[in-house]
Amino acid sequence: MEVRKAVLPVAGWGTRFLPATKAMPKEMFPVIDKPVIQFIVEECLEAGIDNIIFVTGRHKRPIEHHFDINTDLEKHLEQCGKTTLLKNIMEISRLVNPIYIRQKEQLGLGHAVLVAEPTVGYEPFIVCLGDVIVKDEDNVLSKMMEVYRRFGKSVIAVFEVEEKEVSKYGIVDCRHIEKDIYIIDDLVEKPKPEEAPSRLAIVGRYLFTPKIFDKLKVTPPGKGGEIQLTDAVKLLLEEEAVYAIKINSRVYDTGTPMGYLQTMIEFALQREDLREGLIRYMRSLMIEPTGV
């Protein structure tokens, strides 16, 4: 069965970014002038997936507004003759036919995925974390779908991290089967470097068979009382194979102040209109005492 749907969980509290996230979803934070969530929606569209299911919460309305048509703004831009901006704004609102579903209580990522079950149905689907941007020459989701087509089982994207970094991620214990493809034996959440089974970290892009829903339903609350997606994957491993695909992408975790800052700087350095000015400014900060 073809993969047609993507679930984007965006209901989390974003506590690592408070007070900024008190009224504004972290998924709407701008990377220069485009919100994080739009990068993720565009990644899905590039892979041919336009059935996008957002799992939202009561404090996440700006996401719905962003993908909706704003006729007043369109009229205003038209009257001012700002045609490029108008085109851009019109495109965003017509990108996807979104489905919004509420996670009434923030009971964890696993729970957020389970909330999407009625809209996904019994078919394979993708999960993209709402605060992780993946940048690759090739589309990672397309690569994952290719692996799914071959093996018919769940696929998790992983990337190689430095040994000292493993304790920040979910790490896979896996066996190499062919170039960039592995079969997973186990998952370890944030291991100490000396205890890590590999340096392959989970990115935040998953492709699941619908069996994951059965597992999520029986996954007991784990760390912080939340239903962890990795715990459900561990249960899934007892019943069917789960593959990992190693990607060579840049992975930007925008959910922490440092990760967000790094994302902003790297994206600005890649923009022709900002690169030179930013480099000049950063050099001046490093050379001249600023008094801060």
The footprint of ligand UTP (CB under 6 A) covers 9-16, 27, 55, 103, 106-109, 111-112, 129-131, 255
Residue 155 beta carbon to ligand UTP: minimum distance, rounded to whole angstroms: 19
Q: CB of 244 within 8 A of CB of 182? A: yes
Distance separating alpha carbons of residues 26 and 130, to the nearest angstrom: 9
Closest distance of CB 74 from ligand UTP, Å: 29
CA–CA dist 131, 8 (Å, integer): 10
Q: Which is nearer to ligand UTP, 112 or 126 (CB)?
A: 112
Interacting residues of 1 by C-beta distance below 8 A, sequence separation 6+: 123, 124
In the complex with ligand UTP, the residue whose CB is nearer, 103 or 263, is 103
Cα-trace Rg, the chain: 20
Shortest distance in whole angstroms from residue 172 CB to ligand UTP: 18
Instruction: In whole angstroms, give the CA distance from residue 143 to residue 162.
Output: 23
CB atoms under 10 Å from CB of 2, counted, come to 10
The secondary structure of residue 41, as a DSSP letter, is H
In whole angstroms, the minimum distance from the beta carbon of 286 to ligand UTP comes to 30
Nearest distance, CB of residue 40 and ligand UTP, angstroms: 9
Q: Which of 127, 147 has the CB closer to ligand UTP?
A: 127
Least distance to ligand UTP from the beta carbon of 145, Å? 21
> CA nearest 132: which of 201, 211, 75?
201
Residue closer to ligand UTP by CB (options 77, 249) is: 249
Give alpha helix (H) positions in the chain: 36-46, 61-66, 71-80, 83-93, 109-115, 117-120, 140-151, 211-217, 229-239, 257-269, 272-287
Nearer to ligand UTP, 90 or 107 (CB): 107
| Nearest residue (CB) to ligand UTP, 181 versus 207 | 207
The residue written with tokens 């007070």 in the block is: 19
Q: Which is nearer to ligand UTP, 77 or 126 (CB)?
A: 126
Instruction: Give the integer Cα–Cα distance in Å for 65 and 148.
Output: 33
Which residue has its beta carbon closest to ligand UTP? Answer: 12
Distance of closest approach, residue 52 Cβ to ligand UTP, in angstroms: 14
